[in-house]
Amino acid sequence: MKAVLAKRVDSGTADLAELRDLAAAAGYEVVGDLTQTRKEDPAYHFGEGKVAELADLMVRTRADTVIIDNEVSPFQMFNIGQALPEEIDVLDRFTLILDIFGQRAQTRKAQLQVELAELRYELPRASAKASLAKRDERPGFMGLGEYDESREQDIKSQIANIKEELEAIAEKEEQRRSERRDSGFDLVALAGYTNAGKSTLLRRLAAELDVDENAEKHPDLDDVAESQDMLFTTLGTTTRRAELERRDVLLTDTVGFISDLPHWLVESFQSTLDSVYRADLVLLVVDASEPVQEMREKLVTSHDTLHERNEAPILTVFNKTDLLSEDELEEKQAALAALAPDPIAVSGKTGENIDALRDRVEAELPDWEHERLLVPMADETMSFVSWLYDHAYVETESYETEQVLLEFEARPAIVEQARAKAAELTPVESA
């Protein structure tokens, strides 16, 4: 598939770099581009002369699709399509993103989220058709298609049904998170802009493969996929276990953020983002090899997404430090200090500073409680000690006459469980 990219901006210079990456992720070969700096034209979005230029470009490049990096109204989309050669597909930025999501969705949860986003995209367009058809009494007004008076209600009904199913899935996932915390694990989420290197970093930090049997297979399990420079390689979440010096954590990687996403699209993937919002610590991964202005814009996008519902502490990770010098890194850290205070710089590719990242993760996680228990020697004592090692960090294990002294640190819930289990131990009676 061959595509021409187009973008309009009110002022300044239009940047097509991200759209180019998105088009590649969707499987398009970009054969041309067109930009314009001017106020939006109500009829064509671009100026009418620029649309004529676009039509000529489509013929010269033999492209079959034009992708517009703007939100285009249904009427503008129709007018642009009418000005182009026949059989040319016209996509806007969000249609392209939904196309990519549709290609990547493999689990039931991901498929539902994509379908929800598509319906939310279609709803205002169905409403526009309804309003025009009623006002002008012309069901095919402006070529927008036949108006089906039941379509708008059908969309709303489908949205309600999908949200109900996603809520049921979310409840199960929340129960799974609670069970993991009850087992002594801290939950750490990898978040950040798409293509920041989160999956590569996950491979570095993780001690074992995917621990979530219900998640879709993550492409970073494939050595070939790891080297791909592609956006949205997965819509699902991957959770792996990582062993720190004193604590065990579960790391979760999820879909990357992207700029200029409308609220309805972010809301559609709320279920996936819950793994970030409900973590104990968020690692906000940033591609440090990019220009400062791009890093700043992406940090703002990420913070806007995280701060909406996230309450966990955020540790900013400057990744891909192998691609820049120490002086460049210091300059970027100074320039971005307001958005990324006290970041840690690493290279997921080479492994540089990964041990220091492990230490920072442990330091940034919520404090554990310290406890000291003196338990009797009983039939179940060794089983209890074994359980404690699995769920806490045991500092002291000292055997005295018919008693065991245990000093440890653990999550508050684990401390409570340990106290209850210790209270249930019955001393072994002497013969």
> Which residues belong to the annotated binding site?
192-199, 234, 253-256, 319-322, 347-349
User: How many CB atoms are located within 10 Å of the residue 273 CB?
Assistant: 23
Nearest to 304 by CA among 418, 192, 421: 192
CA 283/CA 361 separation, integer angstroms: 8
CA angle 116, 304, 215 (to 5 degrees): 45
Coil, strand, or helix at residue 77?
Answer: helix
Residue 311 contacts residue 317 (beta carbons within 8 Å) = no
Q: What DSSP string runs through 114-175? A: HHHHHHHHHHHHHHHHHHHHHHH--TTGGG-----TTHHHHHHHHHHHHHHHHHHHHHHHHH
* Token pair in block for residue 188: 């750490």
CA 62/CA 60 separation, integer angstroms: 6
CA 254/CA 223 separation, integer angstroms: 19
- 276: Cα within 13 Å, side-chain hemisphere: 29
Q: What is the CA radius of gyration of the chain?
A: 27
CA angle 254, 23, 267 (to 5 degrees): 40
Binding-site residues for GTP, in ranges, read 192-199, 253-256, 319-322, 347-349
Binding-site residues for Mg(2+), in ranges, read 199, 234
CA angle 279, 98, 100 (to 5 degrees): 85
User: How many CB atoms are located within 10 Å of the residue 231 CB?
Assistant: 21
Chain-centre distance for alpha carbon 123: 24
Write down the H helix ranges in 41-107: 48-61, 74-83, 93-104
